[in-house]
Amino acid sequence: MPSSTVYTVYMKYEFVFSQTDMRPMYQQIMEQITQRIAVGDWLPGSALPSIRELAIDTNVSVITVKRAYLELEREGVIATQQGKGSWVSESLDLDALQREELIQHLQQAGKLAKSLAVTEAELLQIIKKFL
């Protein structure tokens, strides 16, 4: 039963992944979704694309998108119900989410500083410049 409707271009989610990002793909998907929610593009309660839809759209395997959704669900960012799909959690604390994002950035900065042998004092000085 060929269904030609599937091939009409559905909404593109424009996820852009980086080949030089060393994190596993499921984490990159989680980040892309979280960012869309953090900036308010995806509002609490709004529906997420189905796992298969997002997989086809982004050329990433179904199992990887499924894992990203499961982890986001565990973190309370999204909610999923069998047969109904997934949506952005209604009770989501946007401030906490943005704070979490900030912490992740700082974590990256800390790691990078360490690998570059930048001292704690130096790093704090640099951060102060941006405050």
Partner 1 sequence: MSVPDSLSMPLAIECEDITKHYPHFILRDVKLSFEQGSVMGLVGPNGAGKSTILRIVMGLIKPDSGSIKVLGYSMPNEQIAAKRNIGFVAEDMRLYESETIEFHINFIKSIFNSWDDQYAKKLLHRFDLKKEQKIKGMSHGQRIKAILLLALARRPNLLVFDEPTTGLDPVVRKEVLNEMMNSLEDETHSILFSSHNTLDVEQISDYITFIYDGRIIESRNKEDFMDGWRRLRLTNMNNVSLPNLSNIKEIQQSGRLCTVTLNNYENSIPEHFTNAGLQINNIERLSLEEIFLGNVAHAKGAEKEAIV
Residues forming contacts to partner 1 in the complex (CB under 8 A) are 2-4, 6-7, 22, 24-26, 52, 55-56, 59-64, 66-67, 70-71
Task: Please identify, using beta-carbon distances, which residue of 52 and 105 lies nearer to partner 1.
Answer: 52
Q: CA-CA distance, 121 to 68, in Å (whole number)?
A: 36
Task: Please identify, using beta-carbon distances, which residue of 39 and 63 lies nearer to partner 1.
Answer: 63
Q: How far is the CB of 53 from partner 1 (least distance, A)?
A: 10
Q: How far is the CB of 95 from partner 1 (least distance, A)?
A: 27
Task: Please identify, using beta-carbon distances, which residue of 7 and 130 lies nearer to partner 1.
Answer: 7
